[in-house]
Chains A and B, each alone.
Chain A
Amino acid sequence: MVDEQPVRIIAAEAGEDSVWAVLRGVPDPEIPVLSVVDLGIVRYVRMPGPQVGITPTYSGCPATEVIRASIRSALAQSGYPNARIEEVLSPPWSAAWISAEGRRKLLEYGIAPPNPSSPDEPESCPHCGGRKIEMISQFGSTPCKALFRCLSCREPFDYFKCH
């Protein structure tokens, strides 16, 4: 950082929009290709403060605390040292909260996005687009993922569970 002071003043005056812009730069710790905004876990931004409402994807998701800390530090660096981060449980998060942009990023990253029309399995293989797939494991490396395999290209892949 060359000179933080001017940034701080501009950001503090710009308000809500600039807070959202900061949040769009905060990655999800487990799927860093997604920002916390793409993932749909930011429920509101209120000024002054700002107050930021976030909701957990899963009750026990260990990433929640890392996310709070990353949001707090990103906001502090952008001139919001006194941000208040509040946990919101209702309405509960569901895969429908992932933005269209988020779904596109997941697919590019090799994770099949949630499939609301048939929640138990992804629509297609994120690698080759094949539709013949099978489940390897109902649970995966993080609470939000399950493991599948494509029967065309034979590659395993993660499916972002449709909760």
Chain B
Amino acid sequence: MPARASTDYLLRLADTSLILGQRLAEWIGHAPALEEDLGLANVSLDLIGQARLLYQYAGEVEGKGRGEDDLAFLRRPDEYRNVSLVEQPNGDFGCTVVRQFLFDAWQLEMYQGLEASSDARLAEIAAKALKEVRYHLRYSSGWLVRLGDGTQESHRRVQGPLESLWKYTTELFSPDDLDLEMQAAGVGPDLEVLEAAWSRQVDDVLADATLVRPADVPYGWFGKRGEHTEHLGHLLAEMQVLQRTYPGASW
């Protein structure tokens, strides 16, 4: 029987896309320019679309009759499995660009790995998403270079978030038992190989942006195991309020 991703593994991917999609949607109507409002909203839309495909599949693999809405709107913060990076607050536009760049560069490598997954359905979803991810990375790296290599003020406002967000990248490349199990089954990529490719990409763009790469920290947050920062609860409270107040409500 061909290997199949576990529900938990799919939820990590789905939650990660959904939470960042929700974060970016907070920018709608608030971005510094109309073009950026459109840009962030479009990236958000792609991410939520990816999340839907992954939730539908996760619900099928789980086999308990839970659909995409149940998984998105009726789980508690500690049941969420997104990486901690994506739940961090937007901050200003510079901070959002930094978070997006670190994420896009990771997602590109991750999904290239998943495109070769032994789980055919997951491979299809990844292949579909990759076209979008490449486009997102162009957007975020373009902005990172413009801000980093812009004025003293714009430089300061991306270097700062780079330093404060860097610690959340440790998790992206620190495999736990589930990552290793999926890797052994050929479902997921080897995170160490991923880290090397990510690092090269990040270094190239940081150099163009005249930004300094922060030092790695020996510790990390593990949102993917359900250990979240305090920000996720607030985000979910807003995102889930309708379903929590009117259970089963639909359009």
Known: A89-B124, A139-B35, A139-B38. A94 touches B139 (CB 8 A): no
For the side of the interface on A, what is the size category? 20 to 34
Which of B47-55, B150-158, B173-181 lies on the face that meets chain A? B47-55
B132 within 8 A of A: yes
Secondary structure at the B interface, as helix, strand, loop or mixed, is: helix
- Residues of chain B within 8 A of A89, CB atoms compared: 53, 124-125, 127-128
- Residues of chain B within 8 A of A92, CB atoms compared: 124, 127-128, 131
Q: Is the CB of B45 within 8 A of A62?
A: yes
In chain A, positions 110-163 with a C-beta closer than 8 Å to chain B are 136-141, 143, 147, 161, 163
Q: Is the CB of B45 within 8 A of A138?
A: no
- Which of A58, A59, A147 is most buried by chain B, counting CB atoms within 10 A of its CB? A59
Q: Is the CB of B131 within 8 A of A138?
A: no
Q: Is the CB of B131 within 8 A of A94?
A: yes
B46 within 8 A of A: yes
Q: Is the CB of A60 within 8 A of B35?
A: no
| B contact set with A: CB distance below 8 Å | 21, 34-35, 38-39, 41-43, 45-50, 52-53, 123-125, 127-129, 131-132, 135, 138-139, 142
Closest 10 CB pairs of A and B: A60-B49, A59-B49, A137-B35, A60-B45, A139-B42, A90-B124, A139-B39, A89-B124, A92-B128, A163-B131
| A contact set with B: CB distance below 8 Å | 56, 58-62, 89-94, 136-141, 143, 147, 161, 163
